[in-house]
Structures are given as structure tokens and as C-alpha cells.
Copies of this chain bind each other. A is one copy, B any other.
Amino acid sequence: MDINSDAHTQHISQQFNAELEEVRNSLLAMGGSVEKQVSDAIRALIDADSELGKQVRKNDDQINAMELSIDEECARILARRQPAASDLRLVIACSKMSTDLERIGDEAAKIAGHAIELTEEGEAPKGYIETRHIGARVRRMVQESLTAFARFDTEMALRVAQEDKSVDLEYQSAMRELVTFMMEDPRSITRVLNIMWVLRSLERIGDHARNIAEHVIYLVKGTDVRHIGLKRMKEEVMEK
């Protein structure tokens, strides 16, 4: 191989790495925007700030555009660079994670919609404390799943998956309480339903954060850990 072709190969490979880096950065940027959407949606609800709620709904278009652009980048890299091994897994994982982030964005927009309705109806019903608490937890899950991705940190990813299970339990107990409250005070039905939909969205956001965490483990370890249960997931992560 002569020097020229060597230089050419090196150039190609630098460009390839730059492209992989770019798609990774795009995903992290989308993650940052989605995280903000989630925290703004919860704030709109708790502060009864319908202006902020409207802003969140409006911003959802940008999140959708980011998803399309990341998928386009991924398809272009697959077509031109034909990545293998861990590079391929990175591209596949980014494409899957963009879908989860977009869905988190959708749920944030739904929460914002309920925040607007609740604000227009006036006084806050019971259930706000649970919403605030579960909201803070899933927001942290989203944040940590993205940090796990940024650092390729599988142990942090595992913690996100474990957290999801405990959030699900808290969600179920909050829902039971809300049902009781509804039965005791049927006049509150519409408003309590709004809170229930919010909780459902928060629980879904937790699921998507868990999905992202699972993609991080796949991309680092090369093992698909979806549907295998937390015990086996832990074994996969802890295996050297």
C-alpha cells in the first residue's frame, strides 16, 4: 500500500469517526431538549402555568424534527460507511433511542395538555404530591439514561432499569389512592382523571428511559437485554 492510499484510508476513517461522533451528539442534544420538555411539563402542572404548558406543546414539533434528522443521519452512515461491530451497534442504538426520545416528547406534550386543562378548571385536586414525586423520579431516570449513554456507563444504565420497576410500584399505589378519592368525592372525577392520565404518561416516560438504558447496555456489551428480567440483566452488566 503506498503512502497516498494510506493517507486516503486515514482520511476516510477520520471522517467516519466524525460522523459517528456527530450522530451521538445529535442524540444527546435531542435528549437534552426532551429532558427539558419533561421538566417543563411537570412544572406547568405543578405551578398551574398554562402558558408554559402551551410552550411545551409547541416545542414538540422540534423534537419530532430531531428524530427524523437523526434517523436520516443513521441511514446515511449505514449506506455510505457500512459500519461493523461496535460502530454498527452505536448506529442501530441511536436510531432506536431516537424513537424512545420522541415518544417521551409525546408524553410530555400530553402532560402539558392536562396541565392546561387543570389550570383552566381552577383548584388542584389531591394527587399532586404523587405527581410531583413520581415526576421527579422519572425526570431523573431520563437524565441518567442519557448520562449512561454519554459515558457508555452500563452500571448506571442498569440502575435506571431497576428504578423503573420501583416507579411502576409507586405508580400503581398512587392510582389506587386516586380511585378511592374519586369514589369519595364524585364531583372531582374529571379533575382526578386528568391527574391519572398524567401519572400514566409519567409511567410511560419511565418505560422509555428504561428502553434507552437497555440500548446503552446493548451498544456497550453487544448483548440485547430487553425482556430478560432485571436479574439476568445485572449478570450481563457485571460480567467482565
Contacts and interface: CB of A to CB of B under 8 A. Distances in A.
Interface in A178-194: 179, 182-183, 186, 189-190, 193
Interface in A137-191: 179, 182-183, 186, 189-190
B182 A68 contact: no
A238 B77 CA distance: 29
B227 A68 contact: yes
Interface residues of A, number: 31
A169 to B, nearest CB: 16
Main SS class of interface, A: helix
A71 B227 contact: no
Q: Give the most central of A61, A193, A200: most B CB within 10 Å.
A: A193
A84 interface: yes
B193 A189 contact: no
A223 B18 CA distance: 26
A40 interface: no
Nearest to A186: B186
A29 to B, nearest CB: 18
7 contacts: A61-B227, A68-B226, A75-B89, A79-B85, A82-B82, A99-B99, A182-B186
